[in-house]
Amino acid sequence: MAVLHQSLLRGKLPRGLHWADAVELIGHLGEVEAQGGEEFAFVVGTKRELFKRPHEPEFGIAEVSRLRRFLKGAGAESPTIAHVPPRQMVVVIDHHAARIFGDLAAAEDAPRQTAAIEPYDPHHFHHHLIHRKEAHYQGDRVPEDNTFYEEVAAALMPADTIVLIGHGTGKSSAVDVLIEYLKKHHIDISRRVEAHETVDLPALTEPEIISLAKRHMREPI
């Protein structure tokens, strides 16, 4: 990442820059915010600019040039990437909701919840995964909405390592569905999934879920 950062800031523009590498770099320096569809906001310090995910894996040269201008404009506000620790994310997910935890907070020694995502649910079929009884549906579960998994994928773009926690197996497991979705639509993110675990989520309290997320996180170096 440090080499790519310096290459974008000075010298000859890098060719063959992959979208996934650009997202990972901005995730280290700041934040990547999904705007819906193919648009994402790159945020570094007080600088914010919209970029569209290309249909091809690689950026066109014009977009690489625009990314350089963005990074130079954010220059003084950007942290030194060599000192940014790896970003870990733990996803606690079922078919009703996903909770995403970020790195351990040094002061509190507890994972920070960075996102809570629920499927689009106009008919209120879904219930929050905390303190809920299993709902009764015709069929195995509420019909799947891929926008749910796309939102989860967008939240995971800045992660270096990912752990997935859920319950059930096969189509009844949101973890298994998410893994297959990432392999099909976001292969770069799927490669960063280092482990997944199956537990009885509905039986866990919120403190137990937070403790479970923490157990999968390494202390920052």
Beta carbons of 37 and 58 less than 8 angstroms apart: no
- Of the candidates 83, 106, 139, which is a domain's last residue? 83
Give this prediction's pTM: 0.54
Whether residue 221 lies inside any domain: the answer is no
The CA–CA distances, whole Å, from 220 to 124, 138, 156, 217 equal 39, 45, 18, 9
Q: What is the mean pLDDT of residues 184-209?
A: 86
Say if residue 221's pLDDT is above 90.
no
Nearest alpha-carbon partner for 195 in 179, 174, 211, 181: 179
pLDDT tens, position by position, 97-136: 888 887 655 445 566 677 778 775 544 444 433 333 334 3
Mean per-residue pLDDT, 32-51: 89
Which one of 27, 52, 83 terminates a domain? 83
Domain that residue 207 falls in: 88-215
Give how many domains the chain has, as a whole number.
Answer: 2
Distance from chain centroid for Cα 39: 15
The pLDDT confidence band at residue 42, using thresholds 50, 70 and 90, is very high
How confident is residue 148, by pLDDT bands cut at 50, 70 and 90?
confident
Q: Domain check: are 96 and 177 in the same one? A: yes
- CATH code, domain with 114: 3.30.420.60
